[in-house]
Amino acid sequence: MLFTEPIVSFVRLYCSFQFALLHAFLVGFLYVYSVTYSLSMHQQGLPFLGLATGAACAAPALIAMDYYTYQAKYHTFREITPASELPPKHRLYPFMLGSVVLPIDLFLFAWTVRPSTPWIVPIITENVTMLGAIPLTSVRIRICLTPTARLTELQRRGRTVWRDKFLREKYEKKNIEKR
């Protein structure tokens, strides 16, 4: 599916770029806080708490976005056309938000890291950066699991059909032998 579906290929390409960007962002913490803010080795781990709070705040934000955007569109769509499914593109709203928020917050982090600004300001921008990165992760999980879930459902149906056919043939064979 990676090579046959162009949208999946481009999403994977963007996600790999985003992972590389976030990795460089996380690796740069030690340098930023040791050189710019002169934090000791023990204190350098504390700025990661900004990432943890951002990730914790992202879950309610994702739930609210799902409830107010996707679920509302889903219910409206089901009322209009009850027999068909909502197109998967409507699940990409968190992805669109994260793709705008993440670069802006990385820029703000780079802008605010200087000795004249307090150390808490870059940590606040880290918080918002994770708030923008978590929706991208959730979309990656949805895109990766959706084909797997469909394949699993098809396999389950196939096994059921095969099992029913096998049991029917076995039952018919026993009935023929008894007569």
The predicted structure's pLDDT at residue 2: 67
Cα 32-35-41 angle, rounded to 5 deg: 85
DSSP 8-state assignment for residue 2: T
Q: Would you say 37 and 115 are in contact if contact means Cβ atoms under 8 Å apart?
A: yes
The answer, yes or no, to whether residue 90 has pLDDT greater than 60, is yes
The DSSP symbol for 134 reads: H
Q: Specify the higher pLDDT residue, 165 or 34.
A: 34
The mean-pLDDT minimum among 28-37, 73-82, 144-153 falls in: 144-153
Nearest to 129 by CA among 18, 13, 40: 18
Write out pLDDT tens, residues 123-134: 999 888 888 777
Alpha helices for 39-119 (secondary structure H): 48-65, 71-80, 93-112
pLDDT of 18-54, one tens digit each?
A: 888 888 888 888 888 889 998 888 888 888 888 888 8
**What pTM, to 2 d.p., does this model score?**
0.65
